[in-house]
Amino acid sequence: MRSLRPLVALTVALGLVCTAYARADREGEPRKPRPRTVIAEFRKVEGTRLVLVIRGDQGERELVCEYDSSTKFLAETDQDVKVKVRGEGGLEREVVKPQTKAIELKDVASGQRVAVTILVGDEKTTPRCLELRVLRPEKPRREHRNG
């Protein structure tokens, strides 16, 4: 047992050193862009940029993303569609989602709730908008009555 302790300590130290070198190598490189979906309120269009407002625990903040000809603009309709989705462990299950239809950017009005899928890279670049989906109005919630 006594002879294993230095070997384990050496292995842990070597692992920490390798991790530090790997992190230092990636420090100067830009991060790989990842898709992210956020719910926001559409405000306006400025050239090729969309200005959105996100409300959260920290209050309101503006999100600006760039769009191009490959950006999809969709709107949810009143009808629902059953879609098969792959879940954990590769199991498929049916989910009810709102049906969508293609729209133009000019059809999106200021103040509408939208779900925006953006590609987020590093903090220096403006996120690129992949899809903007206008959400249908929320159904009014029923109030719960006690007794």
d(CA 69, CA 124): 23
The answer to whether residues 42 and 63 touch, using CB atoms and an 8 Å cutoff, is no
**Kind of pairing between the strands at 49-56 and 59-66:** antiparallel
**Which tokens hold the place of 88?**
């954990």
Cα separation of 27 and 3, whole Å?
38
Number of Cβ atoms within 10 Å of the Cβ of 114: 20
Q: Which domains does the chain have, with CATH numbers?
A: 34-134 (2.40.50)
CA 132 to CA 44: how far, in whole Å? 13
Percent of the chain with pLDDT over 70: 85
CA distance 49 to 67: 6
The mean per-residue pLDDT over the stretch 82-109 comes to: 92
The string of pLDDT tens digits covering residues 7-61 is 777 787 777 776 766 665 566 666 677 899 999 999 999 999 999 999 989 899 9
Q: Please determine, for residue 1, whether its predicted confidence score (pLDDT) is greater than 60.
A: no
Question: Does the pLDDT of residue 91 top 60, yes or no?
Answer: yes
Q: What is residue 30's predicted lDDT score, i.e. its pLDDT?
A: 64
pTM for this structure?
0.69
Q: What is the pLDDT of residue 23?
A: 62
Determine the length of the chain.
147
Dist CA 21 CA 68 (whole Å): 38
CA atoms within 13 A on the CB side of 99: 7
Q: What is the pLDDT of residues 51-74, one digit of tens each?
A: 999 998 989 999 999 999 999 999
